[in-house]
Chains A and B, each alone.
Chain A
């Protein structure tokens, strides 16, 4: 038992080492950029950290930013475990958002009771939407990367149309009607600003994803299919069914993310709606090595950097975009395992995860 615990800890440690090194390196590189903008890197980074975790409000901002990314990160991670690249998080999130915006208003009279119903509806629409590329792949062999990318456009423009035409409200901001405050996800309080209980829902979702993958028959099949379609077929598992399910489940996760954004943050679906959450989910999943716990950590890093950047821009002249550079460098180092080998040697690369490389190849 203790040896197993030790092994689990070593594994977790190994998984963390690389992202951590990548983060440190990206900050070193970022320091030169800050210098180039004529600022003191130390002051800038101090502001960045202060803005991310320096006060309850800052932490609240970080949690708020991390929440949807946990959902979209899980959307990528679950599909990845079946050997699939779900690039469709963006569209899936929009589908969830429009579902929540519509039902949230319609069922608003139920008050807080409507929240679980609305979120459940997001699960359903996201599941069905996510199943589309799965079916296209299982039935016709269409590559999921292409179809999920294309379905993003369809999802985004379909929801935009719905928000602007059938569900349009009167008012200055184009978009759907505002949901009654009683039917929205409440703020956590505790001085955490606008952070809402959606973050806790995201944590629950991560736990659910973990249990699904490692504690259920379905998860066993999904992982077997992802790691070795040949062996899965040999064992009598349906490759097609698991392909569809993994993408559909991923779609459901992203869609709850959209629902939580609407119910917890915006109260409606505005046009334009918040963009990039689905795509950043890919980065979050890569950083988190497609493990639910890693996804949570990755999302917190993304959220923290975004939140800290505001403070950094406020107290120094360093533009917000620096954090995009930092994130890009981090992801580059985490994914470019060959580069890691060049910098640190082969053993390091083994640690960085030949597995990831195999999946990408």
Chain B
């Protein structure tokens, strides 16, 4: 290659091409999710597929795996035109997919899950011994450590992911697609995963890695194809680029990756919890005796791997889930027995992690969503009646102020992109001038541009003396925004560090290893 970057998808492939998608177009209604997308994948290559949420990466991969049929375009596997009508076709062509949400059956063992649907048989019955042996061989060969006899329910998330990969390998996948594989992993687990991926490509497999995390791709992929608004913007050599350049390509403009933070002017305690115990939906202790304190003018970050009690903690603090025992204080007042409504009234704003099912009523208009908590107050309501006109007027202002697109109060919330939905939630929660803000994963599934906006908003609230509790799975986010970082593991705060703690320090805490015990 004479130049480092070339337009289009055929740049920089020296190895034989194992997969080519050519001119793929797929429209959903008037929206073109993919518009003439072409990518190539060389043998033994890791191709990064980078794009904001809704850019069309997932659609493209679903087409490749036969979950969607393209309106136009062709797929070539090993230079041969491939008609992929369903996942079965994809598997028979040697394409394997590791979805973001795992497709394992928790009650079955690892080996059973892996052979499911392609079971080795002895007569009419399942040859379990062979299944276990096959699994062991595969896991040995690629360093995918996992015990075939364990039930999947007993595995960590990282191990479950390894099972998913083994499942694809068992089906003789030579092209492996991983969709946001690191979203659920600790930094150490991510490293493990990447070293496995390197083993796989060294063995001749080819990998497509979908992610929106810029840094990761640079470390592991050979080339990176950037998709924006359904089109391929550019394909670059990973060695010849940097995070800033990738972010610019992804968003289409200059992006501030580091947030500017002013000195904290810390006030008195505003939100605190003591010995808080909260049960999960299944009745287990999800939060097991947490104490914390958030003071005015500071951001307390809660770091941790998904599923360690973050959801339940946020909900118990916000009042949407009852506390089993312990205390919650808001501005000194014991609000443990006060419902979500009462806590809102006392100036608590809550940006829930699941805007789809909690933060917004998808089939409500934006104006109704904007009044979701204040529909029963003036000027929206009087004597039991509600006034849609007043709601609409107020919503129009809020939507403009928070740059929600479209700023149309009559638009259905569900019709907005993830980032704009989140901005709509923020508009509602912050426009009431709350004293305390609980932000649970405020940028999950949100594009880079919106992330920047949301971070700025949170810091602005901090500068105005608000107490902010930030719960996030994104380590980078917690670190760059927080004044203090508490790490949650298995329903407990296992340590508190400053925002300048190293990845390793945080990673160990996130894996539940506190100071003394090295190999728990």
Contact = CB atoms under 8 A, between A and B. Distances in A.
Interface of A: 4, 7, 214-220, 223-224, 227-228, 230-236, 347, 350, 355
B361 A224 contact: yes
B319 A216 contact: no
A218 B384 contact: yes
A217 B385 contact: yes
Nearest to A232: B361
Given A214-B388, A223-B364, A232-B361, 6 more contacts: A217-B376, A217-B381, A228-B361, A233-B340, A235-B372, A236-B342
Contacts of A223: 364
B341 A220 contact: no
Contacts of A355: 363
Nearest to B362: A228
B410 A7 contact: yes
Interface of B: 29, 318-320, 339-342, 344, 350, 352, 354, 357-364, 368, 372-373, 375-376, 381, 384-386, 388, 410
Nearest to A7: B410
Nearest to B357: A230
Contact of B375 (A4, A220, A227, A233): A220
Given A7-B410, A231-B360, A236 B341 contact: yes
Given A216-B386, A217-B385, A347-B29, A228 B410 contact: no
9 contacts: A215-B385, A217-B385, A228-B362, A228-B363, A230-B354, A231-B358, A234-B359, A235-B340, A235-B373
Given A7-B410, A236-B344, A231 B29 contact: no
Contact of A4 (B339, B340, B358, B410): B410
Contacts of A4: 410
Contacts of A234: 318, 320, 340, 350, 352, 358-359
B364 A233 contact: no
B183 to A, nearest CB: 21
Contact of A231 (B361, B375, B386): B361
Given A217-B381, A217-B386, A233 B320 contact: yes
B351 to A, nearest CB: 10
Contacts of B368: 220
B340 A220 contact: no
A231 B368 CA distance: 12
B320 A227 contact: no
Given A217-B376, A218-B384, A224-B364, A230 B358 contact: yes
A228 B401 CA distance: 26
B29 to A, nearest CB: 7
A224 B365 CA distance: 11
The 4 closest A-B pairs by CB, nearest first: A236-B341, A236-B340, A230-B357, A234-B358
A346 B262 CA distance: 52
Contacts of A235: 340, 372-373
B143 to A, nearest CB: 41
A223 B381 CA distance: 16
Contacts of B341: 236
Contacts of B410: 4, 7
A223 B358 CA distance: 14
A167 B146 CA distance: 75
Contacts of A227: 361-364
B316 to A, nearest CB: 13
A231 B342 CA distance: 16
A52 to B, nearest CB: 35
B372 A224 contact: yes
A298 B376 CA distance: 33
A236 B361 contact: no
Given A4-B410, A234-B320, A228 B357 contact: yes
Highest count of chain B CB atoms <10 Å: which of A4, A218, A230, A232 = A230
Contacts of A216: 384-386
Given A220-B368, A224-B372, A231 B357 contact: yes
B225 to A, nearest CB: 29
B289 to A, nearest CB: 25
A214 B388 CA distance: 9
Contacts of A233: 320, 340, 358
A253 B490 CA distance: 51
Contacts of B372: 224, 231, 235
Contacts of B352: 234
Most B CB within 10 A of own CB, among A7, A227, A235: A235
Contacts of B340: 233-236
B320 A217 contact: no
A355 B344 CA distance: 31
Contacts of A236: 319-320, 339-342, 344, 373
Contacts of B350: 234
Contacts of A232: 361
B430 to A, nearest CB: 16
Contacts of A217: 375-376, 381, 384-386
Contacts of A215: 385-386, 388
A215 B391 CA distance: 12
B287 to A, nearest CB: 18
A231 to B, nearest CB: 5
A266 B505 CA distance: 82
Nearest to B341: A236
Contacts of A218: 384
Contacts of A230: 354, 357-358
Contact of B29 (A220, A224, A350): A350
B376 to A, nearest CB: 5
A218 to B, nearest CB: 7
A58 B376 CA distance: 47
A215 B341 CA distance: 21
B360 A220 contact: no
A232 B363 CA distance: 13
A235 B372 CA distance: 6
Contacts of B354: 230
A164 B384 CA distance: 43
Contacts of B385: 215-217
Contacts of B376: 217
A304 to B, nearest CB: 32
